[in-house]
Amino acid sequence: MKVPSSVVPYIQVAPLALVLLVFFGIPLVTVVVVSFFDYVNFQTVPAFMFYNYEEVFSSGLTVTLYLTMLKYSVIVWLITLIVGFTVSYFLVFHVRSLLWKIFFFLVCTVPFWTSNIIRMISWIPVLGRNGLVNQTLMGLGLIDEPLDFLLFSDFSVIVAYVHLFTLFMVVTLFNSMARIDPAILEAAVDAGASRWQVITQVVIPLTKTGIALGSIFVVTLVMGDFFVVKIMSGGQSSSAVYAMWNEIAMLQYPSAAASAVILLLVVVLMAAAILRVVDVRKELSG
Report 92-131 residues binding other proteins (CB under 8 A): 94, 96, 104, 106-108, 110-119, 121-126, 128, 130-131
273 makes contact with other proteins (CB under 8 A): no
Site for other proteins in 148-167 (CB under 8 A): 163, 166-167
146 makes contact with other proteins (CB under 8 A): no
CA-wise closest residue to 282 among 213, 203, 180: 213
User: Could you say which DSSP state residue 111 is in?
Assistant: G
Tell the smallest beta-carbon distance from residue 60 to other proteins (Å).
Answer: 22
**Burial grade of 257 (CB within 10 A; 0-12, 13-18, 19 or more):** buried
Contact 152/66 with Cβ under 8 angstroms? no
Site for other proteins in 192-251 (CB under 8 A): 195, 216-217, 220, 223-224, 226-227, 231, 241, 244-245, 248
Q: What is the largest CA-CA distance in the chain?
A: 82
Which residues partner with 43 through β-bridges? 40
Contact 131/151 with Cβ under 8 angstroms? yes
Site string for other proteins, 42-71 (x = CB under 8 A): ------------------------------
Tell the smallest beta-carbon distance from residue 211 to other proteins (Å).
Answer: 16
10 makes contact with other proteins (CB under 8 A): yes
CA-wise closest residue to 260 among 36, 58, 20: 36
Which of residues 1, 4, 16, 192 is near other proteins by CB under 8 A? 16
